[in-house]
Amino acid sequence: MARTDPAVRRTVEELSRPGPYAVARGDLAVAGLPGVVFTPRSGLGLPAVAFGHGWLQPTARYEELLRHLATWGVVAAAPGTQRGALASHRQFATDLRTALDVCTGVRLGDGAISVDPDMLGLVGHGMGGGCAVLAAAEDRRCRAVVTLALAETLPSAVAAAPGCTMPGLHVAGENDQVAPAVGHAEPVARAWAGPVQLRTLPKAGHLGFTAGSHWTDVLIGSGSETATRRMSRALVTAFLLRHLAGATDYDVLLAEPPVV
């Protein structure tokens, strides 16, 4: 698709902006799991995703994306567990599945929100992306997986990928020095059992997908990037609306890697 393709540009512009829904923020701790959840203020039978944070990253760095998804009608829950240097990837994958349990088993928003158990997905950044793959391989409810700068895990996300029959979108950063695509997202995509896309964002670093600043920016040698966040918001939103809610309006963005 040409660099100046107006349909791609319009779609990126639309999906990188907030959607039509007013948003409420909640605390997963009321259901026994530390973390946050963002929902539309009302709606029944909504899609939902559990989001996995990156290594050492607070969930606050992803609230921009979580809130954005909620404005487009997707319930987004992010466990705040396994934030230490020696995080258990296996346990974090379990926590992501528990977050989906909370979304489907608890009436959110003072009873004004419900989630369709057939419209569930998993999303994650870095370590959380690898853990999203681990969780998806064990959870038949999962209908779509999106990873951002996926990092390999223990147990291996590459080894788990053949168990993932749902559609997958793996977004890598061209300048990612922590989890370069060649050793992390690419092997997972090659091993994926279902329909899969691997997209590489130009000039994107490992923490370019996060918002705000954090002491790990110095440790990792990366930081928040406006262009990376904008493009990844659009891609994640288009993919989830397509594969969880069945919306085809934004397929032009998923047809091939856009350059905008």
pLDDT, tens digit, 9 for 90 and up, residues 29-60: 888 899 999 999 989 999 999 999 999 999 99
| pLDDT at position 260 | 33
| pLDDT at position 5 | 83
Q: How far apart are CA 258 and CA 260, in angstroms?
A: 6
3-state secondary structure of 3: coil
Please choose, from the candidates 202, 209, 176, the residue with its C-alpha nearest in 3D space to the C-alpha of residue 260: 202
| pLDDT at position 258 | 40
Identify the bridge partners of residue 38 per DSSP, sorted by sequence position: 25, 76
DSSP letter at 90 equals H
| pLDDT at position 31 | 83
Instruction: Give the chain's mean pLDDT.
Output: 94
Identify whether the C-beta of residue 131 lies closer than 8 Å to the C-beta of residue 54: no
pLDDT band at 257, cuts 50/70/90?
A: low
- As given in the structure block, the two tokens for residue 71 are 């404005």
In degrees to the nearest 10, what's the CA dihedral of 205, 210, 136, 73?
A: -130
3-state secondary structure of 94: helix
In degrees to the nearest 10, what's the CA dihedral of 152, 143, 11, 236?
A: -30
The tens digit of pLDDT for each residue in 58-69 reads 999 999 999 999
- Whether the pLDDT of residue 111 is over 80: the answer is no
Identify whether the C-beta of residue 235 lies closer than 8 Å to the C-beta of residue 252: no
Write the CA distances from 43 to 70, 143, 144, 194, integer angstroms: 11, 20, 21, 30
DSSP letter at 21 equals -
What global pTM score does this model have? 0.95
Please choose, from the candidates 60, 65, 121, the residue with its C-alpha nearest in 3D space to the C-alpha of residue 96: 121
- Whether the pLDDT of residue 127 is over 60: the answer is yes
| pLDDT at position 30 | 82
Please choose, from the candidates 251, 127, 259, 253, the residue with its C-alpha nearest in 3D space to the C-alpha of residue 204: 259
Residue with tokens 């397509």: 242
| pLDDT at position 1 | 40
| pLDDT at position 108 | 77
| pLDDT at position 259 | 32
| pLDDT at position 234 | 97
The tens digit of pLDDT for each residue in 68-100 reads 999 999 999 999 999 999 999 999 999 999 999
Identify the bridge partners of residue 51 per DSSP, sorted by sequence position: 123
| pLDDT at position 222 | 96
Q: How far apart are CA 205 and CA 155, in angstroms?
A: 25
**All domains in the chain, ordered by first residue:** 6-245 (3.40.50.1820)
The pLDDT of 212-220, averaged and rounded, is: 96
